[in-house]
């Protein structure tokens, strides 16, 4: 695969620099040649800013622009014309340049992608579910971001290792286990006909219900709320179960393995439905002990300190933070304990260039603390730890709460989206002549595209509201709209082939007959730059919105100009090649988002 950075801006920069050096007979530093995209209200493709060159030209901004523009025209056939707005030289590239650009793109099989892989990998941790509940809408955003960023970084030449750290131990896991022990009557996924992760999640909710009831009873007896929460029998039993688990009590361990096994089966199905894969899965139950040993070592080295109750802490007050608990008084670990251990384990395994944690923005403080701790422990690679912080996702009805059972399960949402896609497709009647299996696959593609695109088109840093009805609209900034554009183009190309029209060849400048064609070529040409910027900023929404703008531009072009009925062979060839290239770029863009595009809808 070849990566071609088709930036006209770089071409313009180079030719303007050469022109200016020839004009003023002296070398010109790169930073004095300032090129930017021409603003929409002005004519031109790219704009040169004259002000940095005034000390060299010793002329007014307008005069400087004029003499540079005039020499540019004579210097290169790729410059069509120019105009001057005060100190800005607006440059229009020729049709020949854009025809050559399209020819290059068409003959580059993997335009925008780079097959080479960096020696040092980037480790990306995402998903990281707890085994006390099923994946929900918040997990969907996490998984989609992690998978998309992995693909984007991969096509920009990075070697990516996708990892999942399953939080399979801790007090929250014991809550589900204890509730099942107390109220489950030996219920299993088979006897209940529920997915295992859903069944275990039900008992997490049941625990919270019982816990709240006991707290209220104790408050009636005169205890404060804080005292009641600490002394409720069921929470004390859960804490005892955690201690027994860490002591490897056979009964507790067997129950833990059984219920976690139910959950893993459920997770695997959800991951498969979403198209999520991992290169390696870690389990907190395997990694937390390393973290504990590192904490004890840090205590011996006076990096950490012990309180009177036996708990171990790190003091970060001199770093502008506060004191952070690392090990509880009873010796049990907390989240950051295992994060310390897994960071060290992964660096030893992969010698990574960067470690990205895809975790919600409510954990920003946690990762600040983690980096500081690793630095205090003397790990030189601590700055390679990067928190890809994303905003919360909620429904129009408001925020979700797992322990209260008010979350939207990922499985339920996936099923709902596919069913909605089926209903809308059947209403349109587009797939009436397609067999059941093919139609079902299209419904699945459309439903998942609606879900994935709606989430990924939002900047990860922003909080968002997922609206299922809006997400599946075939006319807005949605996945189905982009899929429909791809299917429309594939239909045009199929008919062209049936009619015996050429679908490939060399485009010349005279084939381009209107501004819309130039705009489409320009939009196509910046695809590699959008991908690179998305990788640099860890932001798939740039690709999502690029794909939408490209699809929207093509639909307008399709509306304004004939393709199959065009009688001029050169013009028709250009329009078919433009159509084919747009479809290809849409398909690649959507693949980077984890979205499939059908050839027919």
| pLDDT tens digits for range 486-511 | 999 999 999 999 999 999 999 999 99
Residues 597, 587: Cα–Cα separation, whole Å: 6
Check: CB of residue 67 under 8 Å from CB of residue 59: yes
Q: Is residue 233 located within the same domain as residue 133?
A: yes
Q: Which of 18-27, 62-71, 284-293, 356-365 has the lowest mean pLDDT?
A: 284-293
Q: Which residues contact 228 (CB under 8 A, 6 or more apart)?
A: 214, 215, 216, 218, 219
- Residue 487 has what pLDDT? 95
Q: Is residue 119 part of a domain?
A: no
Residues 496, 572: Cα–Cα separation, whole Å: 10
Q: Is residue 361 located within the same domain as residue 458?
A: no
| pLDDT tens digits for range 579-588 | 999 999 999 9
- Residue 7 has what pLDDT? 61
- Residue 418 has what pLDDT? 94
pTM of the predicted protein model: 0.91
Q: Is residue 185 part of a domain?
A: yes
| pLDDT tens digits for range 476-485 | 899 999 999 9
Q: Is residue 32 located within the same domain as residue 77?
A: yes
Q: Is residue 389 located within the same domain as residue 433?
A: no
pLDDT band (50, 70, 90) for residue 6: very low
| pLDDT tens digits for range 350-399 | 999 999 999 999 999 999 999 999 999 999 999 999 999 999 988 777 55
Question: For residue 523, what is the domain's CATH number?
Answer: 1.10.730.10
Of residues 452, 290, 440, 314, the one with CA closest to residue 372: 314
Q: Is residue 425 located within the same domain as residue 365?
A: no
pLDDT band (50, 70, 90) for residue 333: confident
- How much is the average pLDDT of 458-485? 92
Q: Is residue 103 part of a domain?
A: no
Residue 467, pLDDT above cutoff 90: no
Residue 404, pLDDT above cutoff 60: no
- How much is the average pLDDT of 297-308? 97
Q: Is residue 112 part of a domain?
A: no
| pLDDT tens digits for range 210-238 | 999 999 999 999 999 999 999 999 999 99
Q: Is residue 117 part of a domain?
A: no
Residues 92, 87: Cα–Cα separation, whole Å: 16
Q: Which residues contact 430 (CB under 8 A, 6 or more apart)?
A: 600, 601
Q: Is residue 383 located within the same domain as residue 422?
A: no
CA angle 572, 574, 576 (to 5 degrees): 70
376 in helix, strand or coil? helix
- Residue 425 has what pLDDT? 79
Question: For residue 70, what is the domain's CATH number?
Answer: 3.30.1360.70
Q: Is residue 332 located within the same domain as residue 425?
A: no
Residue 428, pLDDT above cutoff 80: no
- Residue 222 has what pLDDT? 96
Which of the listed residues 93, 110, 138 is the one where a domain comes to its end?
Answer: 93
Q: Is residue 192 located within the same domain as residue 56?
A: no
pLDDT band (50, 70, 90) for residue 430: low
Calculate the alpha carbon distances from 432 to 429, 436, 443 in Å: 6, 9, 13
Question: For residue 228, what is the domain's CATH number?
Answer: 3.40.50.620
pLDDT band (50, 70, 90) for residue 600: confident
Calculate the alpha carbon distances from 238 to 132, 211, 235, 250, 310 in Å: 13, 11, 5, 16, 21
Q: Is residue 457 part of a domain?
A: yes
- Angle at which helices 569-592 and 95-106 pack, to 10 degrees? 60
Partners of residue 85 on adjacent β-strands: 88
**Tokens 């097959």 belong to which residue?**
115
Which of the listed residues 339, 369, 394 is the one where a domain comes to its end?
Answer: 394
pLDDT band (50, 70, 90) for residue 269: very high
- Look at the chain and report how many structural domains it folds into: 3
- Residue 116 has what pLDDT? 81
Q: Is residue 353 located within the same domain as residue 237?
A: yes
- How much is the average pLDDT of 422-429? 80
- How much is the average pLDDT of 277-283? 96
- Residue 424 has what pLDDT? 82
Q: Is residue 109 part of a domain?
A: no
| pLDDT tens digits for range 438-448 | 889 999 999 99
Structure tokens at 111: 């335009």
The domain in which residue 308 lies consists of 126-394
- How much is the average pLDDT of 31-52? 95
- Residue 400 has what pLDDT? 44
pLDDT band (50, 70, 90) for residue 4: very low
Q: Is residue 144 located within the same domain as residue 84?
A: no
Which of the listed residues 334, 368, 394 is the one where a domain comes to its end?
Answer: 394
* Residue 353 burial (C-beta neighbours within 10 Å; 0-12, 13-18, 19+): middle
Q: Is residue 80 located within the same domain as residue 184?
A: no
Q: Is residue 182 located within the same domain as residue 74?
A: no
| pLDDT tens digits for range 80-120 | 999 999 999 999 999 999 999 999 999 998 898 987 888 89
Calculate the alpha carbon distances from 230 to 143, 224, 225, 522 in Å: 35, 10, 9, 64
pLDDT band (50, 70, 90) for residue 9: confident
Q: Is residue 598 part of a domain?
A: no
CA atoms within 13 A on the CB side of 382: 16
- On average, the pLDDT of the chain sits at 93
Check: CB of residue 252 under 8 Å from CB of residue 244: yes
Residue 574, pLDDT above cutoff 90: yes
Calculate the alpha carbon distances from 136 to 77, 304, 397, 398, 583 in Å: 57, 37, 15, 14, 33
């Amino acid at each position: 695969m070849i990566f071609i950075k088709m930036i006209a801006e770089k071409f313009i920069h180079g030719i303007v620099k050469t022109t200016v050096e020839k004009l003023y007979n002296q070398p010109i530093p790169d930073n004095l040649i300032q090129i930017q995209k021409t603003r929409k209200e002005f004519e031109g493709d790219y704009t040169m800013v004259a002000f940095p060159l005034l000390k060299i030209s010793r002329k007014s901004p307008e005069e400087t622009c004029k003499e540079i523009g005039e020499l540019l025209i004579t210097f290169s056939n790729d410059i069509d014309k120019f105009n001057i707005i005060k100190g800005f030289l607006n440059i229009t590239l020729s049709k020949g340049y854009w025809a050559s650009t399209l020819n290059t793109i068409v003959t580059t099989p993997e335009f925008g992608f780079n097959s080479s892989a960096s020696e040092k990998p980037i480790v990306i941790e995402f998903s990281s579910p707890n085994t006390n509940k099923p994946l929900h809408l918040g997990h969907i955003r996490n998984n989609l971001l992690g998978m998309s960023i992995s693909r984007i970084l991969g096509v920009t030449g990075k070697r990516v290792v996708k990892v999942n750290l399953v939080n399979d131990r801790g007090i929250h896991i014991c809550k589900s286990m204890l509730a099942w022990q107390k109220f489950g009557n030996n219920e299993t996924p088979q006897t209940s006909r529920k997915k295992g992760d859903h069944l275990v999640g039900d008992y997490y909710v049941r625990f919270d219900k019982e816990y709240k009831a006991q707290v209220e009873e104790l408050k009636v007896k005169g205890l404060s709320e804080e005292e009641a929460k600490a002394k409720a029998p069921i929470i004390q039993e859960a804490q005892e179960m955690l201690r027994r688990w860490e002591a490897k009590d056979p009964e507790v361990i067997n129950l833990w393995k059984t219920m976690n096994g139910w959950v893993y089966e459920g997770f695997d199905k959800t991951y498969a439905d979403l198209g999520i894969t991992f290169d390696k899965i870690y389990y907190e139950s395997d990694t937390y002990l390393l973290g504990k040993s590192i904490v004890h070592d840090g205590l011996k080295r006076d990096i950490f300190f012990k309180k009177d109750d036996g708990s171990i802490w790190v003091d970060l007050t001199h770093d502008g933070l506060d004191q952070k608990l690392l090990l509880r008084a009873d010796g049990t670990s907390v989240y950051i304990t295992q994060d310390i251990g897994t960071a060290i384990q992964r660096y030893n395994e992969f010698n990574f260039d960067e470690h990205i944690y895809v975790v919600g923005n409510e954990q920003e403080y946690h990762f600040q603390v983690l980096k500081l701790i690793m630095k205090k422990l003397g790990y030189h690679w601590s700055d390679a730890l990067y928190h890809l912080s994303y905003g919360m996702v909620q429904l129009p009805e408001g925020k979700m709460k797992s322990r209260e059972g008010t979350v939207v399960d990922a499985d339920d949402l996936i099923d709902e989206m596919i069913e909605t896609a089926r209903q809308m497709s059947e209403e349109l009647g587009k797939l009436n002549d397609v067999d059941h299996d093919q139609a079902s696959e299209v419904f699945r593609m459309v439903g998942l595209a609606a879900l994935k695109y709606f989430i990924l088109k939002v900047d990860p840093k922003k909080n968002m509201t997922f609206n299922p009805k809006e997400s599946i609209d075939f006319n807005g900034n949605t996945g189905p709209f982009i899929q429909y554009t791809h299917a429309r183009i594939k239909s045009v190309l199929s008919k062209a082939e049936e009619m015996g029209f050429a679908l490939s060849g060399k485009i010349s400048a005279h084939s381009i007959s209107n501004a819309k064609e130039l705009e489409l070529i320009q939009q196509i040409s910046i695809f590699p730059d959008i991908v690179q910027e998305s990788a640099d900023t860890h932001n798939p929404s740039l690709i999502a919105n690029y794909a939408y703008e490209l699809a929207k531009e093509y639909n307008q072009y399709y509306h304004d100009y004939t393709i199959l009925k065009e009688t001029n062979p050169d013009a028709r060839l250009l329009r078919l090649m433009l159509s084919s290239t747009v479809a290809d770029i849409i398909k690649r863009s959507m693949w980077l988002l984890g979205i499939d595009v059908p050839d027919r809808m």
